[in-house]
Structure 1
Amino acid sequence: MACPLFVSECEATRDRIPEQLELHRGGIDYAEPFGAHDAVTDAIAVAVKRARANSKPSTPSPDLVADADPVATDGRGRD
């Protein structure tokens, strides 16, 4: 079971992902994105502030990439 958690709608959530999941075959429920509700925006802002406050200071280094957290995008790095 997979439950993708999309905040906003884009071409990927509307077309590409449903096509790749073969939703037309049935058997998979696909939820709409949460949207840009103020509560979602506020929750994301709080999570970012908390992560920044709890992170250790660092200096630029190639090793930083090895410990980087994944980032959700539209698959093209634009959204």
Structure 2
Amino acid sequence: MSHVTIIRVLKTSIVLGICLIITGHTLIISNGFNEQFGINGIIASAACIAVGILLSLPTKIYLTILLMEAEKRYTRSHTNE
């Protein structure tokens, strides 16, 4: 996979993870959802949050890649002087 493709996949994973976390949280705090589905609704909401957290883990990897690229640019610009 190319560098651009990896970054695109990481960005998509981050956005999808954050959306799932927000969705799961919204479902847990809504009274109608919990009353209608009971314990299964709570489990589904918690599962959304858990999967969202797993998908948002690549944020650390993505930020590390960005910092490494910034450090490369900084090193190149200061070694040429």
TM-score band (shorter)? under 0.3
* Structure with more of its chain in helix, by fraction: 2
Length-normalised TM-score, structure 2: 0.27
Larger radius of gyration: 2
Higher RCO (C-alpha 8 Å, min separation 6): 2
